[in-house]
Structure 1
Amino acid sequence: MKHQIIENFDPNGVSAHQGIFGLPFDEETAELIIIPVPWEVTVSYTAGTAGGPKAILEASPQVDLFQSDIKDAWKMGIHMLPIPENIAEKSSDYRVLASNYINWLENGSQEIDRERFVAVPDLINKVCSEMNDWVYEQAKKYREKGKLVALVGGDHSTPLGLMKAISEGHNSFGILQIDAHADLRIAFENFKYSHASIAFNALKIPQISKLVQVGIRDYCESESIMAKENNRIVTFYDSDIKEDMYEGKAWKIICDDIVEELPNEVYITIDIDGFDPKLCPNTGTPVSGGFELEQILFLIKQVVKSGKKIIGFDLVEVAPGSAGDEWDGNVGARLLYRMSNLYGASQGKLNLK
């Protein structure tokens, strides 16, 4: 069946298929399944990232399928599951509750409103835990079918369930985190599963032997101390990277240094705000500085060429702009397609030159 689908599809033409990148594959014929998670309950600055999966899906047909260094990359097959409306609705409902609670905190936690807000963290933690469980079950289901699995958020809290599902198939692996933020806060704003706590929560998974952070440039003192004192964490701060480059150190050498810190099996989590904000102006917490798209794709390619295996990845915090503005979705879609192909190449599904 997949052979017939490939024979009948023209990768150079206009596709009438509604799937991600206009590809003709479904969950049975695709090698890679992408889980969309339209969730942003704990976002602490600007909302919108729950619309990320839809924005990427809508922009994705504009991505050309040809990859000069991966022959017939599209033939691996990529399929994004339907965007779950129940998850989006729950996110919208509880986002209001969380936002009101955050405003109360920011206004000094007035005693007069304490009774109104005291139970909010438990409610939010419960619903976020349910979201994590749903992601875990989806990931487990498709991994048991032999599929590669990736995730598109939503905020950065969304991939924890995928990380847990992947951990069940590996004795030890590392995480490569591309991000402007360290995300090492403990229950930020009293939310256990905050988007600002994903790295801290991931380190609770015993199989994760190393967390290598790249591009960090907005973090608090407690996160700096944790990164320094925890021997599982190695952080390549954006300012240090830039200073090395200004002094003449090549990006290839810096990438070699990063890759050397990674164990043999690697999960990659990409927060779009790790890039220069010109590439993601509508993300929830943009920070000046960051990377060009090709810099990070070069880094990921070096991971693959080193022989280390990518065992999963996520792309989070892509947020659509105003009506008619597809820029963030367009960048996100291009990043997602290339990451999918590098993941496939790392797993032996595709050949990388």
Structure 2
Amino acid sequence: MTDPHDFDPNAAATGSGIFGLPFRADARVRILGVPFEATTSFGGGTHEGPALVLEASHQVDLLDAHFGPVWQAGIVLDPLEGETSRTIAQLDMDARATRDVHKIQELSVERTRLVEDWTRARLDDGVVPAILGGDHSCPLGAMRAAARSEDLSILHFDAHLDLRDAYEGVRESHASILRNVLDDCPRVDRLVQLGIRDYCEEEVEYARAMGERVVVHYASQVAARRFRGESFGEIVSEVMGQLGERVWISFDIDGLDAPYCPGTGTPVPGGLSFDEACFVLTAVRESGKRIAGFDLCEVAGSPWDGNVGARMLYKLCGLATGGTSWT
């Protein structure tokens, strides 16, 4: 294992850690890989997302244009063969081996408990917890933990609203996670959603019924505003004003346009470009919001998908640690 003091950020990655970084007990960001996809409803493979991103992360150069030398704050991915990730992987295997929706729900609840316990421990340690999925049901327990004792806003990047009451009989579904959070966590004071372009009537009606607690920036409406002359920067400034001071970033990779994530479970054309997503993240930093934690989910498929996911993960780590541009 490389001594952190001997680490050379300019050299090719040689370590086995995320981004090739050595383990640091004082790391500012701790990441839990959650290899679980039992609630996926279309394309599969997201249970391999943590391993895919880990492998691709060794190709990421460590001086980030938006957040600078992020690595200096310390980033640690808990070993995928560690107890929590290994237990979750077994739950996923058991869930994918059955068609019994009650059993899938039962196993999903246990997965959520494990993630919530892990996140509470990280918050108690004073570090930023991050969840690397897995399907988008994976961070439910983390959001619950983050909203346990303080108010929390959620900034949600996604193609989908994820506001169904249940999907295919499973309440703790990737299609229901934000509804679960809103129903279960009264201290979640605001949900702001970006990239949204695929939804059902039930979800739209639920979002409307939530009033000011849910703000949806539908992709079609954002596009229309831009076609009429508004700048993307003006729209993002509006988004920043809708968030509270303490924020969880929930990033489903399909919030990006489909060419950036062709292997994800449910790719949808017309999402954010990579640069647009980065612009939003830098706006969050410039607004002075406090990042409670974050998740990155639904990365699956090819090395390209892993590459995009790893680069977005590094930027999310940069935002979480208060990194600033070197330019």
Q: Name structure 1 gaps, 5 residues minimum.
A: 99-119
1:311 Cα deviation (Å)?
Answer: 1.1
**Which amino acid counterpart does residue 315 of structure 2 have in structure 1?**
R
1:110-152 superposed Cα distances (whole Å, 9 cap, x missing partner): xxxxxxxxxx232111110000000011111222222111111
Aligned counterpart in structure 2 of residue 149 of structure 1, from 116, 129, 142: 129
RMSD: 1.5
Match of 1:279 among 244, 256, 260: 260
What is residue 69 of structure 2 aligned with on the other side? 72
For residues 68 and 268 of structure 1, the distance between their equivalents in structure 2, rounded to whole angstroms, comes to: 20
Query: How far 1:225 moved relative to its partner?
Result: 1.0
Q: TM-score, normalised by structure 1?
A: 0.87
8 Å contact from structure 2 (residues 13, 59) kept in 1: no
Q: Look up the match of 1:194.
A: 173
Q: What is the TM-score of this pair, normalised by structure 2? A: 0.94
Give the one of 299, 317, 321 matched to 1:340.
Answer: 317
Q: Aligned pair in 2 of structure 1 residues 69, 327: CA closer, same or farther (>3 Å)? A: closer
1:1-353 alignment to 2 at 5 Å? 5-26=3-24, 28-83=25-80, 84-98=85-99, 120-170=100-150, 172-204=151-183, 205-231=185-211, 232-321=213-302, 326-345=303-322, 350-351=323-324
Deviation at 1:176, TM superposition (A): 0.7
Q: Distance in 2 between matches of 1:38 and 1:32?
A: 19
Between stretches 124-133 and 239-248, larger displacement belongs to: 239-248
Using the aligned pairs only, state the percent identity.
41
Counterpart CA distance in 2 for 1:247 and 1:6 is: 51
Report the Cα distance in structure 2 between the residues aligned to 1:142 and 1:308, rounded to whole angstroms: 20
In structure 2, the residue matched to 1:104 is none
- Alignment CA distance shift 1:34-1:281 (3 Å): same
2:37–2:45 contact (8 Å) kept in structure 1: yes
